[in-house]
Amino acid sequence: MTQTRRNFFHAGIALWTASLVPTVTIAANPPELQESDPIAVALGYKKDAATVDTTKYPKRAGATGATQFCSNCALYSAGADGLGGCTAIPGKQVAGAGWCNAWIPTS
């Protein structure tokens, strides 16, 4: 009987101690990058690649540039809802249909 009470007592202490440990909540998905964000402005990011100023960013001009999208960039990792991660812009999600000057072709 004492062994059972002792186990019950220790289990109660373990549960109480565990309740003192702070919990960390991690967002399921980072926020979407806004075009007004300083990093987006610096990289010329546009959520819709068709709206990129090709005079300012000639890399996106012409037939070759027209095929450049975040979704086919080596820095992009696909996510849900047309958004994904980008190693050039940590902590934010970018549109797969978007473009920025950091675009690198996949090999």
The tens digit of pLDDT for each residue in 61-77 reads 999 999 999 999 999 99
CA angle 36, 53, 105 (to 5 degrees): 90
Rounded to whole angstroms, the Cα distance separating 64 from 39 reads: 25
Q: With bands split at pLDDT 50, 70 and 90, how would you rate the model's confidence at 25?
A: very low
Domains of the chain (ranges, CATH numbers): 29-95 (4.10.490.10)
pLDDT for 3 equals 59
pTM of the model: 0.72
Q: With bands split at pLDDT 50, 70 and 90, how would you rate the model's confidence at 27?
A: low
pLDDT for 14 equals 52
pLDDT for 29 equals 77
